C-alpha cells in the first residue's frame, strides 16, 4: 500500500558495519522489494555531512563500510568518522584520530 500511495518510501537504519550495497543484498535475500536509493543509513548521513562540509575524514569504520565513502578524499584528514569497528580502535589509530 505504501508504494501505491503518493509517498516517498525509505528504509532507515543506524548500522555502520556494512555498506548500503551489502545491506541491500541482505534485505532482498530476506524478501524485501527494495531499491538501493530507498536505503538511508548513518553512513549515508555521515557521507552527506562530509560532502557538505568539504572535509577529508579519517575513516574509523568497518572495512565492509568503506564502499559507502568511495570518492571521498581522505589524504591529510581534518575530520574523523567513527563507526562500529573494534579492529580499528587501537593506540596507533586513536593517536592518529586525535591528531
Domain 11-98 has CATH 3.40.50.1000: yes
| Mean pLDDT, rounded, for 52-71 | 96
pLDDT at 67 over 90: yes
The 3-state DSSP class for residue 32 equals: coil
pLDDT, residue 2, reads 82
Domain boundaries, the chain: 11-98
pLDDT at 22 over 90: yes
- Mean pLDDT for the chain overall: 94
- Mind giving me the DSSP string for the chain? -TTTSSS---EEE---SS-HHHHHHHHHHTT----GGGEEEHHHHHHHHHHHHT--EEEES-GGGGGGGTT---SS-SEEEE-S-GGG-SHHHHHHHH-
Amino acid at each position: 500500500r505504501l508504494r501505491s500511495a503518493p509517498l516517498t518510501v525509505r528504509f532507515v537504519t543506524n548500522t555502520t558495519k556494512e555498506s548500503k550495497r551489502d545491506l541491500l543484498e541482505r534485505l532482498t535475500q530476506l524478501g524485501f522489494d527494495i531499491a538501493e536509493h530507498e536505503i538511508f543509513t548513518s553512513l549515508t548521513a555521515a557521507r552527506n555531512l562530509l560532502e557538505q562540509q568539504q572535509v577529508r575524514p579519517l575513516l574509523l569504520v568497518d572495512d565492509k563500510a568503506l564502499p559507502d565513502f568511495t570518492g571521498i578524499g581522505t589524504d591529510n584528514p581534518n575530520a574523523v568518522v567513527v563507526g562500529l569497528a573494534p579492529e580499528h580502535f587501537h593506540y596507533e589509530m586513536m593517536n592518529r584520530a586525535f591528531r
